[in-house]
Structure 1
């Protein structure tokens, strides 16, 4: 009887232990940090970058990252400012506009903070391969997307690119489009004659595959006057010469002059120093995994994450950069 009693007690203790362990497991899952990353729509470069970053961070940390696409960064950047999102992506000019309340942002976003540069990318107007247009000046009088009410930053990209040829959107036949994804689709469907295509963006590659003869970039003017005009229209933008290669979809002319802008990971002042520090260091330590998750990250340079910008860096990022030896007081 004593043996049976001991066995009964041990069985009960085992069941209690299992319940406690299960409870702890559920508690752990429930309390796991979840960081939402705001991006542009599916098919955009930022969406692909956000998805890849989230995938690697989930694999390499004990945190949960999830991507939430929006119509444009003018929609989700204010959510970073108010603490409703953890991270997001924007180019350097757009981050400046957002922080200062200029350009496509009616109100300043003083709580916006920089995490660091993920990549620098190039953008220019693209035309169907059989188009007679070769340079930006050739776009005069053609049908171009305008408005970009849901992705206003491309209004400034458009202004900057056209300004290199001494033009404005008023020199073209304006066709209202809500965002650059719709504009690229409009070009592939023949509704407009040219569209801005970020280098290697998913929607651009899709258009290349679906258009009868594909598309190619037109080259911008790279005179000193053109360079000054581009930077005036889009802060932090610069003109670079790009050579054709298999990894650069749509680059045909050698060289093709394009706009280059640093793409930043953003956050808000509400985020903890530890969370931002962990993101920076995890990206630094997992450059190869990021590149495997999305090819654009093969250009990611951890030692180049700090670039001049009027928007303040988050203290957690500064801590990481000091340890990396790339922060200058």
Structure 2
């Protein structure tokens, strides 16, 4: 019988002495993931099914509303892995936004694998009725610039989602001052707002189940296009979110069965952990992700991007040594990947050193001082400064 469990009570998780058929994996694993109904959650469930059916591993999935909620159990040691996004990976590494708070700080993030489907966009969806409101029926000629004065979803504790929305606004030459920000407690509620009329635009992967719900609702759904030839617009977008690249979404609500929609995207979701997690466990999970790929591909929209061929082995955060061991075994890890990974670890060390120095000072104006010290430390070490 196939078993999945979700919830917030953790017991007998990865440290158990009982192991599955694959001796590198325990019988129970726990991960945090995006909220129920999201693309990240649905992919976690599909991967969990493959683990249960082929390795006898019960994957406990803890849905969480935002980046902090997904990353906190990992930091506390209650889980060993998270199915996260750029917030819980890149921004946690960088110690920015909520992760720059005195209670957080830059994290020693490590990646195992990521979904780089090239078919699923991370886009700012717009309620189709908004097109009518701005005098563009059927959304013909509607661009992100037409969101000026409209209501855009803003998520508590989810800097990555909010930065994504800012990036799309920046592409259009807008800022958050040009729109009305409507605050929501999480991803799910923001898309409920897309259906009930409390917000006009919200960020999501194009394959998200919430997008399909909105598309079939009374207001409809539209994904405005990103022009890959708009160099100035893309430069503005990448200044806000350097991980975005233009692509054509071919999977998603209102997109399926069409030629696709030119938009932007990045690796999503990312299976991640922390540097101190056991290399043998990380190796086993990484190995299972790729050995079981044929068992879960095609089972959820966008999930095919987890294939070994799609892995971006030079990314914005370093890979865990356990994952690298697997990549070496299958012959895809190179000296160039080693050099890049070492550079990313060095970046984390620079940030950690700056953070510890600030902790010793303990200034009253923590946020402002950290932002300044962070920029100074990165610049002095010849690393690019984002945020």
TM-score range, shorter chain: 0.7 to 0.9
Structure-2 residue corresponding to 1:50: 44
Matched, 1:239 2:210: no
Equivalent of residue 112 in structure 1, options 102, 109, 120: 109
Structure 2 portions without partners, runs of 5+: 1-16, 132-138, 336-387
Is contact 1:56–1:293 with CA below 8 Å preserved after alignment?
no
Matched, 1:323 2:329: yes
Structure 1 portions without partners, runs of 5+: 1-26
Distance 1:128 1:277 in 2: 43
Which has the larger strand fraction?
1
Is contact 1:42–1:69 with CA below 8 Å preserved after alignment?
yes
Equivalent of residue 97 in structure 1, options 83, 91, 98: 91
Aligned-partner SS, 2:73:
helix
Is contact 1:184–1:207 with CA below 8 Å preserved after alignment?
yes
Distance 2:295 2:283 in 1: 18
Distance 2:248 2:309 in 1: 23
- Output the TM-score relative to the length of structure 1: 0.82
Question: CA offsets per residue over residues 51-80 of structure 1, 9 Å max, x none?
Answer: 222221122224332101112122222332
Distance 1:29 1:280 in 2: 16
Structure-2 residue corresponding to 1:309: 315
- Output the TM-score relative to the length of structure 2: 0.70
Distance 2:89 2:176 in 1: 23
Tell me how many residue pairs correspond in the alignment: 298
Aligned-partner SS, 1:131:
helix
Judge which range, 248-257 or 93-102, deviates more: 248-257
Distance 2:314 2:26 in 1: 34
Structure-2 residue corresponding to 1:66: 60
Matched, 1:249 2:246: no
Structure index of larger Rg:
1
- How large is the Cα RMSD of the aligned pairs? 2.6
Distance 1:151 1:204 in 2: 18
Matched, 1:262 2:262: no
Judge which range, 253-262 or 272-281, deviates more: 253-262
Equivalent of residue 196 in structure 1, options 203, 228, 240: 203
Structure-2 residue corresponding to 1:218: 224
Structure-2 residue corresponding to 1:18: none
Relative distance call for 1:275 and 1:63 in structure 2 (3 A) is: farther
Distance 1:45 1:181 in 2: 11
Distance 2:328 2:175 in 1: 43
> By how many angstroms is 1:93 displaced?
6.0
> By how many angstroms is 1:140 displaced?
0.9
